Structure 1
Amino acid sequence: MSRLNQEWAFDFGPGMPTEAYIGVSPDTRYDDETGYGFEGNGQVFGRNRMDQQEESSGWEHLRQSFCIPMGMNFVVKVPDGIYRVTVEIGDALADTLTIIKAGESKSVLPYISTIRGQFKVALFTVAVHDGRLVLRFSGAAPRINVVTISPTEETLTLFLAGDSTVTDQPATGYPYAGWGQMLPALFKHDVLVDNHAKSGRSSRSFIEEGRLDVIVEKMRAGDFLFIQFGHNDEKSDPDRGTEAFTTYKQHLKVYIDAAKEKQARPVLITPVHRRYFNNDGVLTDTHGEYITAMKELAVEEGVPLIDLAADSKIIFEEAGIEGSKQYFMWTYPGEYLNHPGGVEDNTHFQEWGALRLAEQVIDQIRKLDLQPLRMYLR
């Protein structure tokens, strides 16, 4: 695969690609030899708004020709690392609406809408851990005109350690979502949100499985580590359970010490509430002493604390017993393809709920004035 100044530069759509760009037509399928192409069970369509005479102008092809992916991903084989991705999207003759996700289901940009004749350029930063950069395009009228991918080290990394309420849920579980997978789209491209949260983990099991070691190995001075555990610490499982005022605090302190040793900034986040209401519409606190213990530790160690438990209580109670279902995985049979029998889940979130919680995290970053993170908010 050719490269342009250490970049992968792709020109999408039918017709001759622009000089020095890699042409991607609607029928370009991924294989390991070329190292790029579309992948999935859907279809890709293409349009070229130029006539043959105009096509000789070369550079205009970048905007006038494009692909329309329907249920397909664009995959590029790249070495593991951090990458800056630039996309250009638009159409000379039609309004467009494009949603871009990276990897399994990470939200990396706000929805991109353009009116007829308008073209927008957007940037985001992603980490690649398995040698494949996967871009998922969807929306009411998606377009791909141009994509460039550049290795970069000029970024501030926000690491996330947590459980299923934070993790990047797989696309096969849609609309399941953790608040951590919605967070990248709320930052400018100067910040990489590297989400290491994993379903079913506690503050203890996350460490014992070596997941904190992976974060510490990548961590640099000035980075941030956001830490949210509690849901699984509360369980009696001997491989995960902790005691609030002893082993829970002790394990959380390991994260704090590890970050400080790398001259990074740890931030504690109280566990988001589950959807359990009393008959009078007041939310039942299922975390109890774990919230108190985390708050004590934040004071003892002098680290910032985002009280997502308090924020989520307000959000869920304002929505009410029935209204709060819109945030959680409460779905009807037949409502979503991935869950034909419906779901009644009071712990995990739909994308809308995960986004509301991610927005609360952003709001607390502002209130706590966590610089330079605050400076890079969209």
Structure 2
Amino acid sequence: MFSVGRNEQPAGNSRINANTPVVFTIGDSTMKNGSGKGDGGQWGWGNFFEWFFDTNRITVENFALGGRSSRTFYTEGLWNKVLSGIRPGDYLLIQFGHNDGGPFNTGRARASLKGIGEESETFIMARHGGPEEVFTFGHYMRIYIRQAKARGAKVIVLSLTPGNSWKEGKMIRSSETYTKWSREVAEQEGVAFIDMNDLVALKFEAIGQEATADYFKDRVHTSFDGALLNAKAAAEGIMQLNDCDLKEYILQESFNRTFTEADIHLK
């Protein structure tokens, strides 16, 4: 049985001993949906990521939270909770983009400026009437990368997962926006990059547009099978990286195993 659910423990709490690493994941609802317990049949892929690892040697802690963007995961203090638990030799996987559009200062007010530059703009926030300086998507991504590296972690940036949107038989990519910016930031900061947007889209194109509907609960959020497919794609992406020792902890046999909801043990 495998445990999934919202991570309420302090970051690093799962560490087996002082010499074993932890994989920390941060992102949005495509990585952990709702409470992380399959509410409404929706799952995030981070819940099942540990299924592909030798958990006698490494553990996975999924700190993603639905509705968050690269900006709000930082400004709401969620990142500081993760950072406090990072130790030398740990791993950090970062995936944002789905929620980085929309309004800057009204409603959920979670948008970042487009691109990866260092420009910023100050907005008066509707919820409290005070100012907030908003930076680019790339700026917030660099915060996570640089602070994690400063603590000795090895960082992997992932592009966002594709939504169930199609055009002429092909799943629509975000190749000119958040995928592009995620890749560029990773290259600039000298960390690994996995193009989840394309890896996952290729898998769904092989399945076909009609059959893909069973893997989604709406345009963006995945069912159990969809989240499992995304988790497998992430593990496969790690195996394809050069000079990434995280692959040493992946169980090769997990790629051929058939997982079902019976394998889930909710925390």
Say whether the fold is shared (TM-score over 0.5).
Answer: yes
> What's the offset of the Cα at 1:155?
2.4
The answer to whether the 8 A contact 2:102-2:111 is kept is yes
Task: Tell me what 2:142 maps to.
Answer: 253
TM-score, with normalisation over the residues of structure 1?
A: 0.56
| Structure with the higher fraction of residues in helix conformation | 2
SS in 1 for 2:170: coil
Q: Which letter maps to 1:129?
A: Q
Question: Equivalents in 2 of 1:194, 1:358: separation in Å?
Answer: 14
The answer to whether the 8 A contact 1:168-1:195 is kept is no
> What's the offset of the Cα at 1:232?
0.3
Using a 3 Å threshold, how does the CA distance of structure 1 residues 313 and 186 change in structure 2: closer, same or farther? same
> What's the offset of the Cα at 1:104?
2.9
Question: Which structure carries more relative contact order (alpha carbon 8 Å, separation 6+)?
Answer: 2
For the pair 1:203 / 2:67, whether they are aligned, the reply is: no
Question: Equivalents in 2 of 1:225, 1:243: separation in Å?
Answer: 23
| Alignment root-mean-square deviation, CA | 2.4
The answer to whether the 8 A contact 1:167-1:198 is kept is yes
Task: Tell me what 1:282 maps to.
Answer: 170
Question: Equivalents in 2 of 1:166, 1:370: separation in Å?
Answer: 25
The answer to whether the 8 A contact 1:298-1:305 is kept is yes
Structure 1 runs (4+) greater than 6 angstroms displaced: none
Question: Equivalents in 2 of 1:281, 1:103: separation in Å?
Answer: 34
Task: Tell me what 1:177 maps to.
Answer: 43
Task: Tell me what 1:87 maps to.
Answer: none
Using a 3 Å threshold, how does the CA distance of structure 1 residues 309 and 303 change in structure 2: closer, same or farther? same
Match of 1:158 among 23, 35, 44: 23
Query: What whole-Å deviation, never above 9, does each CA across 1:200-226 have from its counterpart, x for those lacking one?
Result: 000000001111111110000011110
SS in 1 for 2:54: coil
> What's the offset of the Cα at 1:128?
6.4
Query: What whole-Å deviation, never above 9, does each CA across 1:150-193 have from its counterpart, x for those lacking one?
Result: 96444210000100000165325153111111101110121111
Task: Tell me what 2:111 maps to.
Answer: 241
The answer to whether the 8 A contact 1:234-1:287 is kept is no
Match of 2:189 among 278, 284, 301: 301
Identity %: 28
Using a 3 Å threshold, how does the CA distance of structure 1 residues 154 and 357 change in structure 2: closer, same or farther? same
Question: Equivalents in 2 of 1:357, 1:172: separation in Å?
Answer: 15
For the pair 1:352 / 2:225, whether they are aligned, the reply is: yes
Instruction: Point out where structure 1 has 5 or more consecutive residues left out of the alignment.
Output: 1-99, 106-126, 134-148, 330-344
| Structure with the higher fraction of residues in strand conformation | 1
TM-score, with normalisation over the residues of structure 2?
A: 0.77
> Residues 1-378 of structure 1: matches in 2 within 5 Å?
100-104=1-5, 129=9, 152-167=17-32, 169=34, 170-171=36-37, 173=39, 175-189=41-55, 190-238=57-105, 239-245=109-115, 246=117, 247-278=136-167, 280-285=168-173, 288-329=176-217, 345-369=218-242, 371-378=244-251
SS in 2 for 1:226: strand
Question: Equivalents in 1 of 2:210, 2:172: separation in Å?
Answer: 15
How many residue pairs align between the two structures?
Answer: 225
The answer to whether the 8 A contact 2:25-2:93 is kept is yes
